[in-house]
A and B are shown apart, each in its own frame.
Chain A
Amino acid sequence: MAKRMSIGDRVFEVIVTAIVLFLGFVCLYPLIYVFSCSISNPTAFMQGKVKLFPVGFSFESYMMVLRAQAIWTYYYNTVWYTVVGTICNILATILLAYPLSKRYFVLRGPITVLIIITMFFGGGLIPTFIMINNLGLYGSRWVMVLLGLVSTYNTIIARTFFMSLPEELFESARIEGASEFKVLWKIVAPLSKPILAVLTLYYGVGHWNTYLSALIYLPSSDLHPIQVLLRRVVLQNSRDILESADIDPDAQIASNQVKYAAIFFTMVPIMCLYPFLQKYFVKGVMIGALKG
């Protein structure tokens, strides 16, 4: 672009930069505010002095959250669903996407139709609920893994990625008589780090954030994930959990600070992983936007 800028362009640039910064601030503000509230001195928090940054310092609200026995059960459940669920998701997705990436695969057409129909049409909530009941999965941990095992959208992303690998890679392996499983494991998998990262991110974040299917299919709170706990504490003011952490639920403000701590505590793992996965999800959107 031209190096000399007219006054109009300079004003334009200042305005645009200001708006973009403002939008960034809007996105960041609630997160900073939640953190500041959770970590501020309780007295300062009570007086409403926290506007953006922490005022004073106190770790008390986090101690209260961590003291609640129940939270560790919920946390364990979430980690279990996320790890086991994501591994199963990725295995199933790749086992489906890899054969579909082979243009010569005899069942490519029928299976593609089979999975794409489900993007447009589904059984809906009630028939799914009845079927889960009939399968005897109601109340079982595995319902959280099995319910969304394969996502058609993610399968198409993975298939598109596999199709972009050069065909010569497979030719020599085939001549040597390697089985398809061996090709997938030894040749395709090592080249698939970007797509594996994208799938891990999409499936993993999905599992971490689930709450509704747990409420629908898991009657026992022993199996509930952390999001359900957060909902009970913050949105439903559940007394038993607050009391189990030695918090007087009637002490509005003290419990308020604990709520901020609970919100932040639930967000931390995603925040920690975000920088590492960030460069991959843009790639995922890009592959997904391409025509299959």
Chain B
Amino acid sequence: MDKSMLKQKKVITANDAANGPFSVKLRYFWRLCCRDRQLILMVIIPVVWYIIFCYGPMYGIQIAFKNFRPARGIAGSDWVGFKHFIRFFESKYCWRVIRNTLVINIYQLVFGFPLPIIFAIMLNEVRSARLKKFVQSVTYFPHFISTVIVVSMLVQMFAADTGILNFTHLIYGSNIAVTNDPRYFRLLYVGSGIWQNFGFGSVLYVAAISGIDTEMYEAASIDGASRWKCIWHITLPSILPTIMIQLLLRLGSMFSQGSEKILLMYSPSTYEVADVISTYVYREGLVGAEYSYGAAVGLFNTVVNFIMLFTFNQIARKAGETSLW
């Protein structure tokens, strides 16, 4: 049947392509490309952008295994194998940056993850719709403020001399420079992050709660359940799938910590607790112009991240219907 259709130069159908040899598949594919030529024309610019700006740097990853000299280019530099990786793993900074990355992420998980959930549940218990809306508007707003502004406010309001929020006189008798103190870096970094994002982080849970059938609450209250019991036995179980998936996705990114905010907040006096992998790559690789070394440390981070992200995303996919894509 396939052959007769080919001879007659008839239109090849999907069925033919699926059963036919490679050449038929190719011709079928070509026919579809001709049909969708306008759509292909649309995606050309974005796809070329992806290839240059996302896959181009992936080609450049090879400098992690080379001794990159800008004058000789990526391809012309000599291969050195795992030299840069070994140097990183043997350096005293290796453990420091990995530890800080993990510790900050754990702080963010423990203190930052539950708050949006609790906040969303509490919002749901507020009777006045106007009050609810007002609080939502106010708490979502910090999410849209820039990192520079947040850190600027932090530094100003926690300044030792004029900072209104500097609390250290309660502990030490007089204010210390809390923003430069290694003991307080994580508190300020994670705390300001929670301040900025807990409201916006609750949007998803508010949506999940609004999807709960209100009849369940009515039935429960007729049976004499208190508000607290309703939360415990209706609200929480209903949004548990959303919570689980968010938790799995969050666990997948435990090894990544952006550099933007830390670069603004840290100083040599707080490197010991503040320096994470991404800031180390920035400082050593870019500012210090050790491109190959920086690329190697960055690649190590990317690979670990990828494994974590992929694993937890797969678990999330299996656990529920939501995933990253």
Q: Which residues of A contact B (CB under 8 A)?
A: 1-2, 6, 8-9, 12-13, 16-17, 19-21, 23-24, 26-28, 30-31, 33-34, 48, 50-51, 92-93, 95-96, 98-100, 102, 104-107, 111-112, 114-116, 118-131, 133-135, 146-147, 149-150, 155-156, 179-181, 184, 205, 208-212, 216, 227-228, 230-231, 234-235, 252-253, 256, 259-260, 263, 266-267, 270-271, 274-275, 278, 281-282, 285-286, 289-292
Contact between chains at B57 and A149 (CB < 8 Å): no
- Provide the residues of chain B in CB contact with A119, threshold 8 Å: 324-325
Contact between chains at B74 and A130 (CB < 8 Å): yes
Q: Which residues of B contact A (CB under 8 A)?
A: 29, 32-33, 35-36, 38-40, 42-43, 45-47, 49-50, 52-61, 63, 68, 70, 73-74, 119, 122-123, 125-127, 131-132, 134-135, 137-142, 144-149, 151-153, 155-157, 159, 161-162, 164, 195, 198-199, 203-204, 207, 217-218, 221-222, 226-228, 259-260, 263-264, 278, 281-282, 285-286, 291, 294-295, 298-299, 301-302, 306, 309-310, 321-325
Contact between chains at A128 and B57 (CB < 8 Å): yes
Contact between chains at B74 and A118 (CB < 8 Å): no
Contact of B131 among A17, A155, A253, A271 (CB under 8 A): A17
Contact between chains at B144 and A270 (CB < 8 Å): yes
Inter-chain CA distance A155–B54, complex, in Å, is 15
Inter-chain CA distance A210–B78, complex, in Å, is 36
Please give 16 more A-B residue pairs, beta carbons under 8 A apart, in addition to A130-B68, A267-B145.
Answer: A1-B217, A1-B218, A8-B227, A23-B198, A24-B135, A26-B195, A99-B36, A120-B310, A122-B58, A123-B60, A126-B286, A127-B58, A130-B57, A212-B260, A275-B137, A289-B322
Across the interface, name the chain B residue whose C-beta is closest to A123. Answer: B57
Contact between chains at A253 and B162 (CB < 8 Å): yes
The 8 closest A-B pairs by CB, nearest first: A123-B57, A127-B60, A209-B146, A124-B298, A96-B46, A106-B32, A180-B38, A99-B39
**A34-B153, A121-B306 known; A230-B295 Cβ under 8 A:** no
